[in-house]
Amino acid sequence: MDPFHHVRDTQTWELPGFVLHLLGRTTQPVLPLFLTKYMVLQVLAAVLVYLVFRGLAKRIQGGKPAKGMWWNFWEMLALFVRDEVVRPSIGIPHDDHGHGHDDHGHDSHGRVDHGHVDHSHAGEHPPLLAAHATGGHVPVEVGHPADKYLPYVWSVFFFILFCNLLGAIPLLGSPTADINLTGVLAVVTFAHVVYFGSQRTGFAGFLKSLVPHMDLPGPIAVLLLPMIWLIEAGGLLIKHGVLAIRLFANIMAGHTVLGVFLGFIALADGVLWNLVMPASILGQVAIGMLELFVAFLQAYVFALLTSLFISAAVNPH
């Protein structure tokens, strides 16, 4: 018996009373196209992200504030990622500011310096922001240099979050418990890091920036710099590999623990079953609540590390 049966990606979907066999077989000789459970859930997560933020965009169109707890919740998360993850982590690239502040009063770490705030656009409200204050709306600053990287970070954050949350629904599962998905996310993140870094300094400049500037004599530089570059390039690859493994391991471990607690009920017998059953259910509820927290935490960690990797690429040594 496979102990990871209920957390492994398969071509069957176990539902109450029957088993759904998904399209295709991996053994097809010519064109091995097939569907798996996690493939379907990935599409579902992407559709949910689209529907939620399409609805939010319509409600704040024209600078209107979002109304209702549901829409305020998603707007709050989007602003949290922008203001507490992307802007502070990426900051302002070195050649985008002179004395540490941009034109909108942000310091080099993305925080607002209220002594330099430009209120010339007090009547405008940027997308995904609905600040409320007595007597009107609070003017906000727009155009932070780090915001150009927001679309990708927002995309991975909310896609991972929805994939994680699907695992909290009975009979579904978390696609992020599959190393194939987290590996692809890490590869796409690596591609964006290289792309963003190359945008600022050119591809050759990005590769050169992997080695910090050092004043070395000529013969020593010829010997050491290639070695240092190989170490730095290998470290860059390893960091993105760890990005995939961290997400996969945390989500996989949580669902495995839930499966183990559930298995205790099947293993117990007689009088022992009366003791194990309620303890197992309580344990599953506690672990389930922890998994709900982990779903948000792991999406946050992935977005934070992605922002830090982008920052290192656009702010070279």
- Is 2 inside any structural domain? no
Q: What is the mean pLDDT of the chain?
A: 78
* Mean pLDDT of the 78-101 span: 76
- Is 207 inside any structural domain? yes
- Is 6 inside any structural domain? no
* Mean pLDDT of the 40-51 span: 94
Output the pLDDT for position 31.
Answer: 54
- Structure token pair of residue 122: 């007090």
* Mean pLDDT of the 251-256 span: 82
Q: Nearest CA to 56 among 126, 128, 124? A: 128
- Is 56 inside any structural domain? yes
* Mean pLDDT of the 268-281 span: 79
- Is 263 inside any structural domain? yes
Q: Nearest CA to 316 among 227, 228, 218, 194? A: 194
| 300 in Cβ contact with 292 (< 8 Å) | no
Q: Nearest CA to 258 among 128, 168, 180? A: 168
Global confidence as pTM: 0.77
With helix as H, strand as E and coil as C, how does 204-259 read?
Answer: HHHHHHCCCCCCCCHHHHHHHHHHHHHHHHHHHHHHHHHHHHHHHHHHHHHHHHHH
- Is 7 inside any structural domain? no
Segment 165-219, tens digit of pLDDT: 998 887 788 899 889 999 999 999 999 999 999 988 888 888 888 887 777 677 7
Q: Nearest CA to 182 among 238, 139, 246, 271? A: 246
Segment 59-72, tens digit of pLDDT: 988 888 888 899 99
What is the extent of the structural domain holding 140? 12-314
Contacts of 317 (CB under 8 A, 6+ apart): 209, 211, 212, 213
- Is 262 inside any structural domain? yes
- Is 199 inside any structural domain? yes
Contacts of 229 (CB under 8 A, 6+ apart): 207, 210, 211
Q: Give the number of domains in the chain.
A: 1
